Structure formats: C-alpha cells, structure tokens
Amino acid sequence: MLAVALDDSVDDVRPWVEGVSFPVLIDPEHALTELYAISNVPTVIWIDEADRIVRPNGVAFGTDTFKEFTGVEAAPHKESVRQWVREGRLPIPASEARTAVGDLSADEIAARLHFRIATTARRQGRDEVAGRHFQRAAELAPYDWTIRRAALPLTGGDPFGQEFFDMYEEWQQAGSPYHGLAATGSS
C-alpha cells in the first residue's frame, strides 16, 4: 500500500495515518490529480511489479483504515486484492481498464492549474489572489472533489459542513461524475 495525501500540510495528514506501516506521501500541488486523472478521494489504483496499471482509478480500499469516513466496505475489494497478490488474478481485462478512466477535459485541467496557483498564493499569504483562483477552479470543475472540497479547508470552509452537503447533492444530481470505476461490492 502506498498512500498519497492530496493535502496542503503534513499537520492535516498525520492524525489520519498514525500507526500505519505503509508509506505515506503528500501531494500538495495535486500532481497526481493531473497525472492519473483523479477527481475524488479515496481513489485506489492497482500497479504491478513493472509499474503497469492493472486496475485503474476506483473507489475502493485495501484496508479498513478509511472505512470510518467513506462507508465503503473493504472486504470484497480486499478479497480481489488477495487473489491478485496470491494468484496473479487480474481484476478486469485490459480492454476495460483502458476505457475506465475518462480523460480530463480542458476545463478540468485549467481548474487544476488555478488550484495550484491558489495554494501557492495562499502559502505566500496572498489570500485575495488565492480566493480568486480557488473560485475560478471551482467554476471550471464543479464536480471535482479534489478541487472544490479540497479548497474548503483552505478558504475557511468546513469540508464536513453544510457547504459539503450542498456540494454533494449537486454532484449527485449531476449523475455523480467520477473519473474511474465506481464503488462496487466486488471486482
């Protein structure tokens, strides 16, 4: 397991990974949301020994570490992982894997760029500049949690508060868009 936190500061991450034995990295610039077209967390990607993607972006877990705040059962996915590790059983055919993750649109890329400018400005203490770019990013990618929800704690909002619930409803009404395989009981 290799965990990457799409968070701005290690202080925000530490409480969630206390006592874990797997490597935890931090990605404050959200490079992975561009490289792997990640639009929500948690996203799990299965990568084999030769760095090939055998199961692309999916809402699933290898452990129950995050079960508390996602409500997604780890067991079925865990069983698939076990079969992969023990028997080399591939979870989905490559042809399906290749089309599972829709590419980012130009607006979604631009949103990521505005987000990066925003976090940089914020770290420089320039909240007005940051606010403008967080706002623009949200306009360009309204259903992207790595943009809108990630910006909440960085703009004085509460990612677990009313703003989030409103966002969630909006997202559901839009068809719950996600770049990857939706959460399933088993794969």
Site residues (CB under 8 A) for another protein, limited to 68-107:
81, 84-85, 94, 97-98, 101, 103-104, 106
In the complex, minimum distance from the CB of residue 170 to another protein, in angstroms, rounded to a whole number: 17
List 26's β-bridge partners, or say none: 5
| Size, binding site for another protein by CB under 8 A | 75
Q: Which of residues 41-70 bind another protein (CB under 8 A)?
A: 41-54, 56, 61-62, 66
Measured distance CA(90)–CA(147) in Å, rounded: 32
**Under rule CB under 8 A, residue 153 binds another protein:** yes
Return the number of other C-beta atoms located less than 10 Å from residue 51's C-beta.
6
In the complex, minimum distance from the CB of residue 166 to another protein, in angstroms, rounded to a whole number: 15
In the complex, minimum distance from the CB of residue 24 to another protein, in angstroms, rounded to a whole number: 6
Q: Which of residues 11-30 bind another protein (CB under 8 A)?
A: 12-17, 23-27, 29
In the complex, minimum distance from the CB of residue 162 to another protein, in angstroms, rounded to a whole number: 15
**Under rule CB under 8 A, residue 141 binds another protein:** no
Measured distance CA(140)–CA(170) in Å, rounded: 15
Give, to the nearest 10 degrees, the angle between helix 106-123 and helix 127-140: 160
Nearer CB in complex with another protein: 88/175: 88
CA angle 160, 162, 168 (to 5 degrees): 75
Measured distance CA(48)–CA(173) in Å, rounded: 36
Measured distance CA(146)–CA(167) in Å, rounded: 12
Nearer CB in complex with another protein: 41/138: 41
